[in-house]
A and B are shown apart, each in its own frame.
Chain A
Amino acid sequence: MRYSALKIIKEGLTGNKGWTPAWREPEPRSQYDVVIVGGGGHGLATAYYLAKVHGVTNVAVLEKGWLGSGNIGRNTTIIRSNYMLPGNQPFYELSLKLWEGLEQDFNYNAMISQRGILNLCHSDPQRDAYARRGNAMLMSGADAVLLDADGVRKLCPEMDFDNARFPIKGGLWQKRGGTVRHDAVAWGYARGADERGVDIIQNCEVTGMQINNGVCTGVETSRGRINAKKVAVCVAGSSGRVMSLAGMRLPIESHVLQAFVSEGLKPTIPGVVTFGAGHFYISQSDKGGLVFGGDIDGYNTYAQRGNLPTVEDVCEGGMALMPNIGRARLLRSWGGVMDMSMDGSPFIDKTDTKGLYFNGGWCYGGFKATPASGWCYAHLLATDTPHETATQMRLDRFQNGRMIDEKGMGAQPNLH
C-alpha cells in the first residue's frame, strides 16, 4: 500500500477501515541467503538496501524483542555530518544525503527536520579548531558556516553569551543537520524491506552461532536453527555478547548514555545546540520538550539505566550554557547501551570467520549513521568489498595502526 495525503483523506472519510499492517509476521524459514542479527535501525536499513539496491531478497532480520526496542528508540534523534577525518566524513555526508531523500524513498513520514546544528566555541583556539573542521566538511561536499558571536546571537539569543568563564565566541553551524522521528525510521525501513520480501522475525533471540572449520553456516535461535550463507551481526550495544557466541573478542566496551526530556515549552531552541566547554547538547522536539544529553556514565554496563552523578553533570552543563532552562521540569530520562570502540569510530567489516560479518562500535553516534550504515553494510554483504566511504572502518585497524581517532583520545573508550 502506498501512503499519500490523498490516501489519508480518503481513509478519513471512510472510517479508516482500509489500512493494513505495515509488515507481515512470518514464521522463520530454515534457510536464507542472508540472516541479519538485530532488528534495529541499522539492521532494518541493511535489509532494505539489500533488497532495493542489490536485489537480495531472501533475507531474514532476527530481532530479540520487538522492532525498534533498542537504540533506534533510545537516542536523541540528531542527524549531522560535522566530522573531520577522511575515514569518517565522506561516510557521514553520504548518510546525511540519504536522510535528505529518505522519506520519498521509503514512502514513510519520518519527520526529518533540517533545522541545523550549532557547535559553540568559547575560546580562540577552539574557533581555530572549528575553522579546520568546517574546511574538512566543505572539502567532503558538506555544508559548514563559521559564525561569530553576533551570528550565534541571531540564531539563539537566549544563551549566557557573556558568561565570565565560558563566554560564547561563535560557533560552527551546519544548516543541513537536524532531527528525525526515530521510531518512524525503524518502521519505514521495516515496511520497505518487508514489501520487497524480507522476513522480519520478532521475538527471536540468537543463542548460538554455527561455525564449522572457520565457516559460519547459520545461527541457533530461540525459535530454532536457521541456516544462512551469510550471517550479518548488527547489534550495537550488545556486540560483545553476540560476538562472544562466535568466540570473538572485540575492540569494544559497552557503556550507557543517558538522555532527558523536559516538559513541553514554547519554541526556544532553533535547532541542535552543543556546548563547547562541557559535554551538553540540546534540541527541542516538535511537541516542545527539550531533548538533551551529555557524557556517557563511563563504566562498562549492559543495564539500560545510568546513575545520578552523570545526571547532575549534564544538568550543570545545561545551566552553564542557558540558565533560562533551569525552571523547566524534567519529564523523563532513560539510558541506552552503546558499543564504545577503542578510537570512537565504528566497524563495518568481514570477520576472520567466513560468512560472518560485523557492524558495530557506533559509540553514541549510531543514529545519524543509520542510512549510510545500512547502505554500506548491504554493499559489503552483496559484493564482499567495502563501500568506498567505509574502507577504513575495519576490525583490524588497531593491529595495523590505522585508527580513526576523531577526538585524539587513544585506546580509552570512556573518553571518546
Chain B
Amino acid sequence: MIINHPLLGPRDAAEFVYLGDASLINRPDGLTADASGDFYEYLYLRDNPAGLHKELWYHEQGDRSWLVVTRNTLTHEITEVELARDVAKAQGRDK
C-alpha cells in the first residue's frame, strides 16, 4: 500500500506504524461521572467497518507525524490522507 503523505508525497506503508480507528483521537474526559464507561468504550470497543475506515498511521520511519488515513477495508484502496493534527483542529481542539 502507498500512503499519500500530505507533506512528503507517496510513501510506502511499510514506513508507518498502524494504531487503529481514528476515533482514538477523541480521548474522553476523565473527570466526568461516567468516565469509566466512556473509557471502556474508547479503549476497547470498535466499529470495525467493512468499507471506508478512518484510521491512525504514525510515520515512524519518516517525519514522525500522525496521519488520519481513509482506507477501504474491503479493497485496501486509500482515498484520503490528512494530518491528524489538522483533523483534531477542525474538530475544535487547540492541538
A residues within 8 Å of B by Cβ? 238, 240-241, 244, 249-254, 298-303, 307, 309, 342, 398-399, 411-414
B61 to chain A, nearest CB (A): 12
B43 within 8 A of partner (CB): yes
* Complex alpha-carbon distance, A193 and B85, angstroms: 55
Q: Are B75 and A303 in contact (CB under 8 A)?
A: yes
Q: Are B43 and A411 in contact (CB under 8 A)?
A: yes
- Given A240-B49, A411-B44, are A298 and B18 also a contact pair (CB < 8 Å)? yes
* Complex alpha-carbon distance, A413 and B20, angstroms: 9
Q: Are A303 and B13 in contact (CB under 8 A)?
A: no
B residues within 8 Å of A by Cβ? 1, 12-14, 18-21, 40-41, 43-50, 53, 55, 71, 73-76
* Complex alpha-carbon distance, A300 and B52, angstroms: 11
Q: Are A303 and B74 in contact (CB under 8 A)?
A: yes
For this complex, 23 residue pairs linking A to B, each with C-beta atoms less than 8 Å apart, are A240-B49, A240-B50, A241-B50, A244-B48, A249-B41, A251-B46, A252-B46, A252-B48, A253-B20, A299-B13, A300-B20, A300-B21, A300-B55, A301-B73, A303-B73, A303-B75, A307-B13, A307-B76, A309-B13, A309-B14, A398-B40, A398-B43, A414-B20
Which residues of chain B have C-beta atoms less than 8 A from A301's C-beta? 73-74, 76
Which residues of chain A have C-beta atoms less than 8 A from B50's C-beta? 238, 240-241, 254, 302
* Complex alpha-carbon distance, A412 and B58, angstroms: 14
- Given A240-B48, A251-B45, A307-B76, are A299 and B14 also a contact pair (CB < 8 Å)? no
A297 to chain B: closest residue by CB: B18
B1 to chain A, nearest CB (A): 6
B18 to chain A: closest residue by CB: A299
* Complex alpha-carbon distance, A299 and B75, angstroms: 12
B49 to chain A, nearest CB (A): 7
Q: Are A254 and B48 in contact (CB under 8 A)?
A: yes
Which residues of chain A have C-beta atoms less than 8 A from B48's C-beta? 240, 244, 249-250, 252-254, 300
Q: Are A300 and B73 in contact (CB under 8 A)?
A: yes
Give me 17 other A-B pairs in contact (C-beta within 8 A), A238-B50, A298-B18, A309-B13 excluded: A250-B46, A251-B44, A252-B46, A253-B20, A253-B48, A300-B48, A300-B53, A300-B55, A301-B76, A303-B76, A307-B13, A307-B76, A342-B43, A342-B44, A398-B44, A399-B40, A414-B18
B42 to chain A, nearest CB (A): 10
Q: Are A299 and B55 in contact (CB under 8 A)?
A: yes
* Complex alpha-carbon distance, A414 and B48, angstroms: 13
